[in-house]
Chains A and B, each alone.
Chain A
Amino acid sequence: MKMNEEMIFSTLDAISAREFPQGYNLLHQPGKKAKSIFGSSRRVIALGLITLLALVLMAFVLYRLFSDPGLGAAHDAGLGSTTKQTAQSTLLPATATLPYAQKSPAVLNLAQTQQGVTLTLEWISLSRTRLIAGFRIENLPDGQTIGMPTVDFSDISVQQYRGRLLQFYDSPVQTAEFTSNQVIGVDENSAPVNLRMEVPLEDLSGQTLGTFAFDLKGIPADSDSPASGQFTYSARVDQQEVRLEWLKIGLAGSSALICYDNGSTSPVLSPENVLFQVNQPEGKISPVQTGTDMKGVSAPEGQSCAVVSAPITLNTGDLQMLVGLNHLGAQEGTWQMAAQPSERGPFSEPLRNSPTPQPTMSSQKLGELTANLIWAYADTNRVAMEVHFDGWNVNYSVGEFTVKDASGNEINSSYGSTIVGNDAATQLMTIYLDQTGQPTQASQVDLGVDVPVYDLNQSEQPLASFHFDLHLPVYPAQNIKADQKITANGIEMQLIDLSLTPTYTQVTLCYQKPPSIGTNFDWWMGQGVVLQIGSNTATLDGGRLLSDSDLGGYAGKGTPPADLPTISDGRCVQLGFPIGDLDSSEPQSLELTIPKLEISMPEVVPQEEIDAANEKLSEKGMHVQYQTLSASGGGGGGFVFTQKPVGMNDQQAYETLLEALGYEYPGPWKFSVTIPGR
């Protein structure tokens, strides 16, 4: 058979799938920075990626909205309403069929006694990829221990065995949690599973004294609670694979079953080359503990296996245990594996004699989450609400609002929310009532706002929703005719009018367009546009095209404003800035500065334009090439600088290029207006 492209794909897919199998989830892995036994630091996992995503989004929203100085200034100036309205959460029912709804373990409480030792299998959680079980151990004498359990799935197929972990927890009643990683041939719609679990009772030399055997019938294979930990099953260096078959973390020491391919007839692993280390909170890491004891165990042909022990354990708060090798016989390497226990199961309070499973909803304490509306504001363009949540959790997030009018009809609005200050429990929520930008003419708005709250660990549906009824006076806009004309670099620009609310300013500008480049006539504001009112400044928040001579005139919705001039070879635009007049009764100065106009980059820059630009750039020691693409998945192009002066960064080079291409047209145009007091 010929090696064809499909085969290359499937082989590459198989190679990468060994590292990242189907079902791998970056979001649901435990994640801290794990520090290497071997000195370097690396990020082992991505725990908290959901939280990180939330923080990133908060920052993103912050950038978009609470760089909105207008609302902040309005709040500080005492505008708006201090409502003191409080809403109790409306708990939404958990929907068990959704993939992200946590499904609790099966509670078993099966007790057996061997040699006077009682082992109770309290609960078991089974999914396609992991089995987690919780034990209670009573009357265990010194000199005896619980060995590594084994699981036999009698009537279903098992694949990809990926290691086992057993950790003991100290308490008046000793408990242990066991995780077995494998893929079983079921899905969430399959029938419950039968399995047999055997747990050896051992002496300290590993000799089996007895076996607890649990034949379990009808275990659902769809449980995903508690959250599973992490287990690195194997590491490969220079084709030498080392496998961590299991790790047992005791109260005073730990032991690991390590297997490796071995062409030799005698084992080549030495206990001093096995390194144990603990990742602790706040980025700390324990000293390296080498193996102190090793016992060979039987292994398949061509392999060697040994149980290596060391006096090291995980204490409360520790993150994970690292197990590594730095030598295997004569071969040096950095084989490194990590094991992190699952979250504690439903009986993490070991003193409880008659444990009761914790329902998911009540454990999230959403019933204690209260939203307090502490400030609200409305003008002709938008409504803002400041809400403080009591009982807020770092994993919570506000979702998309639903806004209804006084008749209960949903309003097509857009929204945003951002945290206020550093307190994630206090959020500023902004609602733009009309996405076309048309201001409301009403003197009061009456709205019903439903604010959903999501738990990022279970984010397919909101966990609670809060309802607020808003009855707010609307701050009117102040409209000012300007009719100022400024000419710069041969281009005339006209400030037609301004519309100011206490928190936002819109200006209408008309201008001649610089010479088009080819068929490109889309001249727009360049970077650096600034509006200053009194001592407050803001950059451009957004804008829309009102008319363009190349587009046949008026391009807005409805009928054109009566005072909108007709500009031959020009256009009119409306620009928005997130500062306003703060409802001031005093006159204020306003300055609008537009440093340059720019034209949008075409999808494909003609080669003759690039050649012409390169002629200009060569005088500055620069040369550029342009890449283009057109494909089903996307298209576009980009410049690559093949030559530029030492010390010139990419942004500087790009600005220089735009000038050389003629895509920027410098001004500046500066307008000054005095705003009368209200």
Chain B
Amino acid sequence: MNNLRYAKDAALLGIAFVVIVIQSSVIARIAWPLHGPNLILLLFIPWVLSETPFRAAFIGFLMGGFIDLAPPGNGPVGQWALVMTLIGFALANYAERSRDLVQSPLVEVGIFTLGALALLLTWGIIGLMVGDDRASAKYFFQFIPSSLLWNVVLAPFVLPVVRKTTFVRRVRR
């Protein structure tokens, strides 16, 4: 059983890495109106919502670390890892306390939106703290709102898929 679990974890992480690559090589290169959607958030947030805080922190650390190190990452290494560890832990912690998360799609999208907002804001704040030029006013007032808008539009379609993919563990817990 444990072997199966690790295999699935590895597979999900592989998918996450592929999504990160797709985000940088495909999505980011399309000239969207405003800024485009963020597939990483659309995968990461529903995933950690169905995980234990312990595992969610690890998932966030690995995904964030991958974003930090993979091209074309150029910010300080560890910035994404830190943000996604924190947010992963916090979201999983919250989800564990409120069991009715998946009862209503509206609540699910709401939680997702808040999670995404928290993640992007935390990234920006840490960026400000470490003097990252990318954490500019444009990032806070233009990138975050438009990115959220796109993600909220896509969330109703993507979230159930991700939830179903990662659901097994939730039942087992």
Report whether chain A binds chain B.
no
Residue numbers of A with Cβ under 8 A of B are none
